[in-house]
Amino acid sequence: MVGYGAGAAWSVPFWLIALFVLQFFRDPPRLVPGDARSVLSPADGRIVAIQPVRDPWLNRDAMKISVFMNVFNVHSNRSPVDGEVQQRWYHAGKFVNADLDKASEENERNALYIRTATGHDITCVQVAGLIARRILCYVEAGAPLARGQRYGFIRFGSRVDLYLPTNVQVAVAIGDKVRATSTILGVLP
């Protein structure tokens, strides 16, 4: 009876919400470019940081590359390298805007330490954002990962930080739009 009296207009907001949720949880297949030395983007989004830092997880000097995902990006996270998960850490935290640098230190986060077959150590960190309230990670220590393999998901706006060896040849610039698996972020020596 309500539908008849209000017409089809009452359902428009529900259809818009349904379409938004469907587009957010999409996870399209991707082709894997490059070779085993290529470091692929672990997420869709925009590069917000490229800087030499101290890797807080492995306590070493590293090159940090951060990818910020807004609510319109695909939020499936994929392995940037071929390797084996050596360790996994989870830290509860705040939910500040993931576009800000302090999100890497204060927000909820899940870190994977991955060792490549060539012996390079990579730290891949999922960071929850302002709206995100749930980080999903499907792998544990000992799990093998192939470049482009899905390993996790972050719901609604977030970022992924990569801590790479300092001698990585960076192939992107701040502000570049990247796609998970499809974009090469750098090349390992």
pLDDT at 67 over 60: yes
Q: What is the mean pLDDT of residues 121-146?
A: 86
CATH architecture of residue range(s) 2-187 = Distorted Sandwich (2.70)
Report the predicted TM-score, pTM, of the whole model to 2 decimal places: 0.81
Q: What is d(CA 122, CA 120) in angstroms, rounded to the nearest whole number? A: 6
Q: What is d(CA 54, CA 98) in angstroms, rounded to the nearest whole number? A: 19
Known active-site residue 158 = yes
Predicted pLDDT at 18: 58
- Which of these, 21, 150, 137, lies nearest to 78 by C-alpha position? 150
Over residues 75-110, the pLDDT tens digits come to 789 999 999 999 999 888 766 655 556 656 777 889
* Helix or strand holding residue 64 (H, E): strand 60-69
Predicted pLDDT at 2: 46
Predicted pLDDT at 20: 58
Please provide the average confidence, as pLDDT, over all residues in the chain: 83
Provide the terminal-to-terminal Cα distance of the chain, rounded to the nearest Å.
Answer: 68
Rg (CA), the chain: 18
Among 66, 79, 104, 158, the active-site one is 158
Over residues 42-56, the pLDDT tens digits come to 999 999 999 999 999
Predicted pLDDT at 162: 96
Q: What is d(CA 187, CA 26) in angstroms, rounded to the nearest whole number? A: 28
Q: Where are the domains of the chain?
A: 2-187
